[in-house]
Amino acid sequence: MADTIEVDGKQFAVDEEGYLANLNDWVPGVADVMAKQDNLELTDEHWDIINFLREYYEEYQIAPAVRVLTKAVGKKMGKEKGNSKYLYSLFPYGPAKQACRFAGLPKPTGCV
Amino acid sequence: MSETVKKFMYLNRKAPYGTIYAWESLEVVLIGAAFDQDVCVMFVDDGVYQLTKGQDTKGIGMKNFSPTYRTLGDYEVKRIFVDRASLEARGLTQEDLVEIAYEDFETEEEIDNIVEIVDSQRVSELMDESDVVFSF
Amino acid sequence: MSILHTVNKSTFERNSLESCLKFATDGAAVLLFEDGIYAALSGTSVEPVMAGALGKLNVYVLGPDLKARGFSEERVIKGISVVDYAGFVDLAAEHDKVQAWL
């Protein structure tokens, strides 16, 4: 994994696992570029989760573990979205880990 | 998940920010939550300061991890205790502490605040009942 | 001659403040910061000790550390002055030396 990713001609520092080094650097283009690297095309459904994670972080100062994310999504968006099958269909590398990375958050706390 | 569920107690005795113990403990609790054990989080002595409301760390340039305590319910931590004598010695009451909600996703049972103030004897009992005490 | 004493440990956990108050002489300044700020709050078991010290010492508390820990200036014992970082620097400059009770 490179130490930086390029978004709209600008370099963004990332850690060894590809998570954005500085949360405040994040722009939506970061998610697009990271998704492309993972061979994903981001849809509105992906963005709902990415934005949800950013709001969650803003409120609780933490990137939630996958179980916690699933539960919280269910509470906010309904049980048809708050289940791991749906979330894995969007983020095949793990809804918390991959979506948190796209959202510019650190690696989720409690994901082993 | 695992066959034998153990009773874990996380015992917090340090104030936040001055040392790293409070944050380390919180991280261990959240990471440990993945193992589906019976967890209780106990705050005694200066540990009660971890739960004060209205923390604002902008002025000291440190991460404010106070909002993260409110996710403990989401992480399936249902039992959070505060030693009454420690609170009283510090001129604090439950009013000064954050509220942590818990909702059971299956049964939709909701508890507005799982932070429970207990007397010292109950602290001892809970400690005796625990299989493991993690001390911070 | 005059000393600025600083205390950054919780008085409920260490004896830093106790020693500081024992050795500080009349007219000296004491600045409470980091976990030392808890001693500046009213309603605690050490409030009588602090109130007693105010008779002979000038006591200050660092505002940003109060705020970080969730306490407003209203919770501070009357007679203790709240200062910011610039005030901390001024205090250090005004006194001949700084004694840190670690």
Domain ranges of chain C: 3-100
pLDDT of residue A111: 62
Beta bridge pairs of residue A10: A7
pLDDT of residue B34: 78
Any catalytic annotation for residue A100? no
Q: Inform me whether the pLDDT recorded for B134 exceeds 80.
A: yes
Question: Is chain C in touch with chain A: ≥3 Cβ pairs within 8 A?
Answer: no
Instruction: Tell me the ipTM for this assembly.
Output: 0.93
- Hey, is the C-beta of C68 within 8 angstroms of any chain B C-beta? yes
A-contacting chains (≥3 CB pairs under 8 Å): B
What domains, with CATH codes, occur in chain A?
3-103 (1.10.10.370)
Beta bridge pairs of residue B39: B8
pLDDT digits (tens, 9 = 90+) for A48-82: 999 999 999 999 999 998 888 998 999 889 888 98
Q: How far is CA A42 from CA A33, A55, A102, A103, C96, in A?
A: 10, 18, 10, 12, 64
Q: How far is CA C85 from CA A28, C2, C6, in A?
A: 37, 20, 13
Give the residue among B10, B44, B5 at the shortest CA–CA distance from B28.
B10
What domains, with CATH codes, occur in chain B?
7-135 (3.40.1260.10)
Residues B39, B79 contacting (CB under 8 angstroms): yes
Residues of chain A with Cβ-Cβ distance to B65 below 8 Å are 61
Q: pTM value? A: 0.91
Q: What is the CATH number of domain C3-100?
A: 3.40.1260.10
Q: How far is CA B31 from CA A21, B4, B60, C49, C90, in A?
A: 21, 19, 27, 41, 44
pLDDT digits (tens, 9 = 90+) for B49-106: 999 999 999 999 999 999 999 999 999 999 999 999 999 999 999 999 999 999 887 7
Q: How many Cα atoms are found within 13 Å in the side-chain-facing hemisphere of B22?
A: 25
- Rounded Cα–Cα distance for residues B29 and B65 (Å): 13
